[in-house]
Structure 1
Amino acid sequence: MANGKSMTVAEMLGFFLDPATPIRMDAFDGSHFGPADASLHLKVTSPNCIYQLLAHPNEIGAVRAYVLGDLDVEGIDYANPYPVLRALFSLASYARRPSPVDAARLAAAVLSHGVRRPPVPQTEGPSKFARIKEGLLPHTERADSKTVSFHYDMSNEFYADFLGPSMTYTCAVFEDEHMSLEDAQANKLRLILDKLGLRPGERLLDIGCGWGSMVITAARRGIKALGVTLSKEQAAWANEWIAREGLQDLAEVRVQDYREVPEHDFDGICSIGMMEHVGVKNYQSYFEEMYRLLKPMGRLLNHQITIAHDKPNGKPGQDEFLDRYIFPDGDLGAPGFIESCIHDAGFNVVHQENLRQHYALTLHHWCENLSDNWDDAVKQVGFERAKVWGLYMAACALNFEIDGIQIHQFLAVKPDRVGHPDGKWYPLRPWWRA
């Protein structure tokens, strides 16, 4: 540390990295680690970085230090830090764990400067324990309303800065890597509606409808579309969009929990990027509710992020960064478990596909858009939150690329036990254009 103490920041870093690591670190105390010509150049600008990592020797400590500027990277694009994350990932083999003796020496060196409670970014939300203490039990209607508002009710203009004109906050579907984001999002909406096979005059329920892109697209086909969301900001945007298009007779978006929708006998239901908010323990009841809302031979299209590998003992989980900064109470399940829940709710699962690479491409487009509109994004939500969003989207892109997470579409049919030997139940083979 500073003031002639026995251990420098560079020496501390040496406990965690092999001396041959091709990385450069310059610290506030004048110490340096690694070659000056390394392509990745870190800067520890404040003692608070050390205290953050000591208090939380996990991703939360690193995220706090980064968001507050105590840990920085030379030349980084805060809107799109993907190149830095990719470079750090490539250096994982150089990491090492300090021995208990070295860890004790390191802690003693830091604490010799006194106990310090480092600051917390204003953008950080309460921990899961703190939310429960406030009576916000995960995935109750009250808690879901609060957590959805935390994520979405910031600024519609901020989301427009990176989502683009489609305002579609889910994975696009690309014909190839050169397809534009707008065309790929339109392609995704087209694919979902084609899979559902709805005709003009039939009824669609879009659960977690976002800013209304699916509702609008369906109404343009003559489908009667109802969208529900827990975000007031989203609903206001969507209904203004519906009015501009003159689609009020066919489309509506409500601020309503899916468990409170009074209508039923829908011809189709889509759930696009909604299940991440439901909670794995509630999957079965969620799909049972979808089954109840559909008419016989109605179709369900569920599009959701999944984990590539089951958690220990089959338990779902979410890292603390996402829980504190992005999606409180967010939860991911494995694709096999999800398909079993759909089946056990009474559906016939007729098709599923993994669109993992498509989400990585989508996120790269979003990061590029955020970079292009950085000044306005900071104006809308502040520097800290804009910085957090760049980190979140870049990290997700990397996670999709390395197969840590995936995204699946499941198409299911509510069976009619009459049988329909004439083939009107559903065609023998997939009927949509891929």
Structure 2
Amino acid sequence: MSSREEASAKPAEFGSSRDVSNPYGHLLQLLADTPVSFALEMDDGRVLRFGRTVPAFHVTARSREGSRALMSLNEGRIAEAYLAGHLDISGDMLQPFQLRAKLHDRHPLLTAWRFIEPLLFGQVRANRKAIASHYEQDPEFFLNFLDRDVPLYTQGIFLSDEDTLAEASERKLKYCFDACRLKPGDRILEIGPGWGSWLKYASARGVKCTAITISDYSRNFLLGEAERLGYQWDIRFCDLLEYRPDEKYDAIVMMGVIEHLPQYQRVLQIFSGLLKSGGRVFLDGSSSARKYALSSTTTKYIFPGNHSPWVLHDFLKALSATQFSVQEMFDDRHSYFLSLRHWAMNWDSNKDRVVQLFGEHAYRRFRLYFWGTAAQFLSHHFGCYRLILSSRPEQRLAGEPDHA
């Protein structure tokens, strides 16, 4: 049996963190009061155990780089080591993220560039680059974690933890249709149509659909789906910030896209110009109490640019200066957690296929994203809201203030 195998079978017991002969004393000291039990297997074969119960997860350093990343307690560096294969993680994948309070994540140059880039090159160009880095991939990539029949890339609506992803996704589409008070012949605009779940649902009920996207892969996929299904979808490659059609719509649907458009006042102004009097807007998204509150790993590998969780109080402040009124508002945090857990489990189940088609790095990147974000919802660091807005009739009541 090798030294690594011996260490795994019978973990070494080290002395106190003050023992100068212990190379991991600093790590043991900093993680002494861990909220979760776990084990770290270093590249020299030694196993460090933390907590008082059976380890919920196990981290294995495959190289010296992996051990150094663990000892740095730098969240970004540890993530980089995992993505490069210097670290492996097994066990309950929600539990490692309970340790985030013990880590630091200071990467000032990366943080600064998020805001410098749109200033230098413009927000529309920055949006296209950011969206391309995430969405410009073969649709099969996304179908390895979404439900293939209802490929909705945002949270479903779960009434029970036992609901399937398909059930929750279908319920979300029905809720959106009903809340927007749509009927056959109405015209809707979807911003960020993804892989067509909402377009199919609305079209099957007689609604005329226009969608705008800045993903060529999404647009081409949807054009193919429209031809296959016999639908007359108008799919345009255009950023919302530049979209100025002649027509107005009965409803605007924007599922999980507000995070990409943190310029709330500008977005609401555009909505106002696109919507018929009395029309409705459906929008939802992940939220945070603080704008741009994302880890360096998420910023670098998942959502670059000045993407931000939705800050509801800032949005409502911008909304108060418009003629929109809030018809419904709902906290959907648990549904987003359950959706992400389904995505993560589907992704892990399809590991071999994903690695074969898209590579190990892509598999690890989205595995970290799904489980990490699910943990953020579970711990209430992230929230999620869905809102139904209504544009007021153009005629105002006597004495009503003009907020336009």
Alignment TM class, shorter chain as reference: 0.7 to 0.9
Alignment correspondent of 1:214: 198
Offset of residue 349 of structure 1? 1.3
Distance 1:222 1:22, change over 3 A: closer
2:118–2:125 contact (8 Å) kept in structure 1: no
Q: Distance in 2 between the 1:340 and 1:236 partners?
A: 37
Alignment equivalent of 1:11, drawn from 25, 31, 37: 25
Offset of residue 135 of structure 1? 6.8
Q: Distance in 2 between the 1:84 and 1:135 partners?
A: 35
For the aligned residue pairs, the C-alpha RMSD in angstroms reads 2.8
Alignment equivalent of 1:323, drawn from 293, 299, 307: 299
**Secondary structure at the residue paired with 2:226?**
helix
Q: Distance in 2 between the 1:131 and 1:19 partners?
A: 35
TM-score by length of 2: 0.83
Distance 1:226 1:214, change over 3 A: same
Which structure 1 residue ranges, 5 or more long, are not aligned?
1-5, 77-82, 98-125, 421-434
Structure 2: which amino acid aligns with 1:69?
Answer: G
Alignment correspondent of 1:429: none
1:158–1:381 contact (8 Å) kept in structure 2: yes
**Secondary structure at the residue paired with 2:369?**
helix
Q: CA offsets, 1:86-141, max 9 Å, x none?
A: 2562x689x699xxxxxxxxxxxxxxxxxxxxxxxxxxxx9354566777758711
Pair 1:418 & 2:395 matched: yes
Matches within 5 A, 1:219-230: 219-230=203-214
**Secondary structure at the residue paired with 2:41?**
strand
Pair 1:173 & 2:189 matched: no
Distance 1:278 1:160, change over 3 A: same
TM-score by length of 1: 0.77
Offset of residue 10 of structure 1? 3.0
Offset of residue 25 of structure 1? 2.5
Q: Distance in 1 between the 2:193 and 2:97 partners?
A: 36
Q: Distance in 1 between the 2:281 and 2:183 partners?
A: 15
Distance 1:269 1:133, change over 3 A: closer
Pair 1:335 & 2:312 matched: yes
Alignment correspondent of 1:259: 241
Distance 1:304 1:23, change over 3 A: closer
2:42–2:67 contact (8 Å) kept in structure 1: no
Alignment equivalent of 2:46, drawn from 22, 28, 31: 31
Q: CA offsets, 1:251-290, max 9 Å, x none?
A: 22222111333233211101111111112xx111111100
Alignment correspondent of 2:333: 356
Q: Distance in 2 between the 1:32 and 1:271 partners?
A: 48
Alignment equivalent of 1:405, drawn from 379, 382, 396: 382
Alignment correspondent of 1:296: 277
**Secondary structure at the residue paired with 2:30?**
coil
Alignment equivalent of 1:278, drawn from 245, 253, 261: 261
Identity over the aligned pairs, expressed in percent?
Answer: 26
Alignment equivalent of 1:67, drawn from 71, 80, 83: 83
Offset of residue 227 of structure 1? 0.8
Alignment equivalent of 1:86, drawn from 75, 79, 95: 95
Alignment correspondent of 2:287: 306
1:137–1:143 contact (8 Å) kept in structure 2: no
**Secondary structure at the residue paired with 1:24?**
strand
Q: Which runs of structure 1 show a deviation greater than 6 angstroms over 4 or more consecutive aligned residues?
A: 131-136
Which structure 2 residue ranges, 5 or more long, are not aligned?
1-19, 398-404
Offset of residue 224 of structure 1? 0.7
1:306–1:332 contact (8 Å) kept in structure 2: yes
Q: Distance in 2 between the 1:388 and 1:71 partners?
A: 13
Alignment equivalent of 1:367, drawn from 344, 368, 374: 344
2:75–2:100 contact (8 Å) kept in structure 1: no
Offset of residue 213 of structure 1? 1.4
Alignment equivalent of 2:176, drawn from 192, 196, 200: 192
2:82–2:364 contact (8 Å) kept in structure 1: no
